[in-house]
Amino acid sequence: MLPPILRVACAVAALGPALACLADDRPIEEQITTLLGRMTLEEKIGQLTQVSGVDDEGRKLAREGRVGSFLNVTGATETNELQKLAVEETRLHIPLLFGLDVIHGFRTIFPIPLAEAATWDPELIEMAAQIAAIEAWSAGIHWTFAPMVDIARDARWGRIAEGSGEDPYLGARMAEARVRGFQGTTTDGRYQPERLIACAKHFAAYGGAEGGRDYNTVDISGRTLREVYLPPFEAAVRAGAGTLMSAFNEIGGVPATGSRFLMTQVLRDEWGFDGFVVSDWNAIRELLNHGSAATPAEAGEQALLAGIDMDMVGKIYPEHLPGLVESGRISQAVIDESVRRILRIKMRRGLFEKPYVDSQVEKDAPLRPSHRQVARDVARRSLVLLKNQGKILPLHKSISSLAVIGPLADNWAEALGSWAAAGKADEVITILEGLRKSLGPGANVIHARGCEIEGDSREGFDEAIAAAKQVDAAVLVVGEAAGMSGEAASRSTLDLPGVQEELVKAVHATGVPMIVILMNGRPLSIRWIAEHVPAILEIWQPGVECGHAVADVLFGDFNPCGKLPVTFPRSVGQVPIYYNHKNTGRPPSADKWTSKYIDLPSTPLFPFGFGLSYTTFEYSNLQISAGNEGEQREWTVTADVKNTGERGGDEVVQLYIRDDAASVTRPVKELKRFRRIPLRPGESREVRFTLTPEHLMFYNQRMERVVEPGRFTVWVGPSSADGLQGTFELTTTDNGS
């Protein structure tokens, strides 16, 4: 065993070959104990402190060992310089952890997470996260504040763009895929060094904000919390996420950032999480606004005792923990435990052995052609064909003239969406560029902006109408600016902003065959368009390969296969609207005295799971058979799916269940399995799913997870609103729960 001083020198060894020395290979926990024994209180609190950006004050803190992590510092040179202060100049040489919001790509920007969820393709999303991690690592980043795994049932909430939509099962699959992609493989308890530590956020139920207004109060039942909002977090933790971030909101009177129930009971005691929790931006200080703390010191005490280990920019911990320890309100042991968790993650990431990044890799890693290729594939697989009347799509490449109209048709920046990290607008292929490239120089492609995204000017309408009158078909690209979704971007309406819908109507009035392309970060209410325009393609904010992906789909080089990860309402008044709702005592029917609006059908405009293809799929022959009995019991559900059209294509086959009667009411449908299958024209395949008691479980009135005997209905189909239906019985004797 090396003496402590030599062990510390091992960290320094990574500085250069001259100092080569063996890395400390004692078990991490032992190393932490040694280190903790040598740390002053100030150094310990430094580890619990995170600072944003770098200035003289930040450098001073780094040099004095009074900061454990920076966010928003990127670049090999910048991070190495700062790291050098911590590793070479501090007493204990503890390296810094650099965090950044790498949400859907670093330099190669992928579609926004909501769009990625529309691929229903966890392996592909894992690959996208892996590419994001490699690019960000090359710029000195160790830690991403992602995946955002908040379930969102209210499209007014701008942050719906950052998550995987409304469903806990799909959300959980996406959460674990992203964690795996960001973190790579963990070997002997060590993370892959050239990846990013993941941070599942925002714990918890942030998406339940009343009225969809960001940061707003959340008041949900314990059952809804556990059955709807928590599963993606649990999946992220089970997949090995190293960190979590606390949410800004309160839940039923307790701010998440001060909730011992969430941060300790659920996360650590129930799920066995041993990483660390960072607060959201200034969220500890916001406990004062919530009114759960009277003074900044009380806020710090509440957060630390709840289980928040690191204070993101709020300065509450560095300013108030020393006094709290001195007065005996916080024990050294509590501080030590939080420091231990942070050091554990730093050691698992190998920062002590390799604190620096090689600046050469920064030159090679970002925006490789292979990365762009994956971004293109993710983007085209995330597009959802909502309508295709008269098979107007795909367009023939032999089309002699095409008008490309709308404020988003030739737009670089908006296609990147919110949180675009190091993405650059001028690297985006716009839709106009993509279509022109695909058609070649001979085609007559006319562009007219028509109007702005917002505002009421109709000055460009005439030009757009004139363009539409000269061509064989018009493509209208309308939607939202990137800044209209994401954080602090809640909307009170889901209509197209500005005069864009009027522009669509004006072009429609010319009689030109037209396609509407929607670029947006949330579901929009597009009733008029859905009724009148023959073809609608939802493209979300598709990222850097936008134009190529859209051209691939519009001209049929790629058969669309995305499915909605979220319900599209007819109007904002239907919100919250989600497929896995309860039945009520008076489910909607023709009878007046049932649960519905008098001025709208009770169904959504487009249901969860919905998406068309250029081919058609036929479902038949649903079979449900009971397998093993007892502990290992399971049910096999099979159905035949046939491609009945003339093109090859992928279908996402979805399995839903309902527990028809139970001791607590159950949703009318719940997604439990899905599978993507490629089918050639005419090809038929049997799709087989296995259900286990795990899929049938819920929280009973005593909040125990149980399976209850009785009848279950099963659907296998192309969306939450369609499919073959069958049932199976679980008899009392089967119930081993």
In the complex, what is the shortest distance from the CB of residue 487 to ligand BGC, in angstroms, rounded to a whole number?
5
Alpha-carbon distance of 213 to 237, in angstroms, equals 28
In the complex, what is the shortest distance from the CB of residue 521 to ligand BGC, in angstroms, rounded to a whole number?
15
Alpha-carbon distance of 514 to 392, in angstroms, equals 8
Residue list 575-604, contact with ligand BGC (CB under 6 A): none
274 contacts ligand BGC (rule: CB under 6 A): no
DSSP string for 627-639: ---GGG--EEEEE
Chain position carrying tokens 């501090």: 90
Alpha-carbon distance of 111 to 379, in angstroms, equals 6
Nearest to ligand BGC by Cβ — which residue? Answer: 145
Cis peptide upstream of residue 147 (ω within 30 degrees of 0): yes
In the complex, what is the shortest distance from the CB of residue 566 to ligand BGC, in angstroms, rounded to a whole number?
19
Indicate which single residue of 280, 309, 311, 433 sits in contact with ligand BGC (rule: CB under 6 A).
280
CA distances from 679 to 470, 547, 559, 642, 653 (A): 39, 26, 11, 7, 12
Alpha-carbon distance of 585 to 592, in angstroms, equals 14
Q: Which is nearer to ligand BGC, 71 or 287 (CB)?
A: 71
182 contacts ligand BGC (rule: CB under 6 A): no
Q: Which is nearer to ligand BGC, 281 or 610 (CB)?
A: 281
Q: Which is nearer to ligand BGC, 107 or 570 (CB)?
A: 107
Alpha-carbon distance of 547 to 544, in angstroms, equals 8
User: Residue 101 in contact with residue 145, Cβ under 8 Å?
Assistant: yes
Q: Which of 101, 121, 167, 280 is catalytic?
A: 280
Number of residues assigned to the chain? 737
Indicate which single residue of 24, 101, 362, 501 sits in contact with ligand BGC (rule: CB under 6 A).
101
In the complex, what is the shortest distance from the CB of residue 199 to ligand BGC, in angstroms, rounded to a whole number?
8
Chain position carrying tokens 């030009």: 463
In the complex, what is the shortest distance from the CB of residue 150 to ligand BGC, in angstroms, rounded to a whole number?
10
In the complex, what is the shortest distance from the CB of residue 101 to ligand BGC, in angstroms, rounded to a whole number?
5
Alpha-carbon distance of 507 to 465, in angstroms, equals 6
281 contacts ligand BGC (rule: CB under 6 A): yes
Alpha-carbon distance of 184 to 567, in angstroms, equals 32
Residue 567 is given by DSSP the state P
107 contacts ligand BGC (rule: CB under 6 A): no
In the complex, what is the shortest distance from the CB of residue 307 to ligand BGC, in angstroms, rounded to a whole number?
18
Q: How far apart are the first and last CA of the chain?
A: 50
Q: Which is nearer to ligand BGC, 150 or 353 (CB)?
A: 150
Residue list 427-486, contact with ligand BGC (CB under 6 A): none
Alpha-carbon distance of 384 to 119, in angstroms, equals 9
DSSP string for 90-150: SSS-PPPEEEE--SS-SSSPPPPHHHHHTTT-HHHHHHHHHHHHHHHHHTT--EE---B--
Half-sphere exposure of 72 (CA within 13 A, CB side): 11
E strands, 350-487, where?
A: 384-388, 401-405, 444-448, 473-479
Query: Cα 137 to the chain's mean position, in Å?
Result: 20
**Among 154, 184, 147, 149, which Cα is nearest to 170's?**
149
Catalytic residue check, 734: no
Alpha-carbon distance of 582 to 631, in angstroms, equals 29
The token pair that represents 593 in the structure block: 């005295």
In the complex, what is the shortest distance from the CB of residue 71 to ligand BGC, in angstroms, rounded to a whole number?
6
Cis peptide upstream of residue 513 (ω within 30 degrees of 0): no
The single-letter code of the amino acid at 174 is M
Site string for ligand BGC, 56-75 (x = CB under 6 A): ---------------x----
CA distances from 352 to 54, 87, 100, 343 (A): 22, 9, 20, 10
Alpha-carbon distance of 73 to 242, in angstroms, equals 20
CA distances from 521 to 112, 175, 358, 454 (A): 8, 19, 36, 15
Q: Which is nearer to ligand BGC, 71 or 367 (CB)?
A: 71
Residue list 476-495, contact with ligand BGC (CB under 6 A): 487
Q: Which is nearer to ligand BGC, 71 or 467 (CB)?
A: 71
The token pair that represents 303 in the structure block: 């957060």
Helices (H) and strands (E) in the chain, counts: 23, 25
# residues near ligand BGC by CB under 6 A: 7
Query: Cα 19 to the chain's mean position, in Å?
Result: 42
Q: Which residues pair with 717 in a beta bridge?
A: 654
Alpha-carbon distance of 570 to 599, in angstroms, equals 11
In the complex, what is the shortest distance from the CB of residue 221 to ligand BGC, in angstroms, rounded to a whole number?
25
User: Residue 536 in contact with residue 518, Cβ under 8 Å?
Assistant: yes
201 contacts ligand BGC (rule: CB under 6 A): yes
Strand arrangement, sheet containing 670-679:
670-679, 649-659, 710-719, 722-730
The single-letter code of the amino acid at 572 is V
Residue list 133-162, contact with ligand BGC (CB under 6 A): 145
- Phi/psi for 174 (5° steps) reads -70, -40
Write out the H or E segment, with its range, that includes residue 711: strand 710-719
The single-letter code of the amino acid at 666 is R
Q: Which is nearer to ligand BGC, 194 or 487 (CB)?
A: 487
**Beta strand pairing call for 401-405 and 473-479:** parallel
Q: Which is nearer to ligand BGC, 324 or 489 (CB)?
A: 489
Contacting positions for ligand BGC (CB under 6 A): 71, 101, 145, 201, 280-281, 487
Q: Which residues are catalytic?
A: 280
